[in-house]
Structure 1
Amino acid sequence: MAKIKIDLHDCFNDGRRIDRALHDAIDQACRKGIRQVEIIHGRGSGQLKKRVLKFLEQPEIKARYHRVEKDTKNPGRLFVHFRH
């Protein structure tokens, strides 16, 4: 199964870069028919995870994917699943 993996560690303090990286990953998944995007936000204080979840809850973004899965074995990442 093809998937896209993005690591947000490099841009954790730049909101525009975070949003751009997330938008690009979701656009690419929809365009190429990829079923899963893995988002690595890291453990830390949880602020980056909250930002990612808030981004994913936007109505225009939420309409593009099927569900979000929190990794039970690694709390520093999320999986966004698509139906194409």
Structure 2
Amino acid sequence: MKLKLDLHDIYNKGRDIDRALNDIMTEAIQKKAKMVEIIPGKGSGQLKKRVLRFLDQKDVKQMYHRVEKDSKNFGRLFVHFKH
């Protein structure tokens, strides 16, 4: 199972971004998803940096196995889980 989170609609709403990221990580664990695709978009890269900072937090980092940056699409990240 793969979950997807597109951040295009909330790119400028800080609290909504954090809430959406928390929600998708929790959902991935509950549903035992193998991967979450996060789409911060290409833009200036600030949203992608924010997502990476979120994923790098100690309590969040414990939830997943690894993060993969899409080599073909700069505006996409994959978060892999081991359950």
Name the TM-score, length of structure 2 as normaliser.
Answer: 0.98
Which residue number in structure 1 is paired with residue 50 of structure 2?
A: 51
Which residue number in structure 1 is paired with residue 31 of structure 2?
A: 32
Question: Structure 2 CA distance, aligned partners of 1:37 and 1:15?
Answer: 20
User: For 1:51, what is the secondary structure of its paired residue?
Assistant: helix
Question: Structure 2 CA distance, aligned partners of 1:61 and 1:35?
Answer: 16
User: For 1:69, what is the secondary structure of its paired residue?
Assistant: strand
Deviations 1:7-61 (A, max 9, x none): 0000000010000110000000001100100000010100000000000000000
Aligned length: 83
Question: Structure 2 CA distance, aligned partners of 1:76 and 1:31?
Answer: 26
Which residue number in structure 2 is paired with residue 73 of structure 1?
A: 72
Identity of aligned residues (%): 64
User: For 2:16, what is the secondary structure of its paired residue?
Assistant: helix
Question: Structure 2 CA distance, aligned partners of 1:62 and 1:15?
Answer: 20
Question: Structure 1 CA distance, aligned partners of 2:10 and 2:47?
Answer: 10
Which residue number in structure 1 is paired with residue 9 of structure 2?
A: 10
Question: Structure 2 CA distance, aligned partners of 1:40 and 1:29?
Answer: 16
Consecutive unaligned residues of structure 1, counting only runs of 5 or more, are none
Computed over aligned residues only, the root mean square deviation of the Cα atoms, in angstroms, reads 0.4
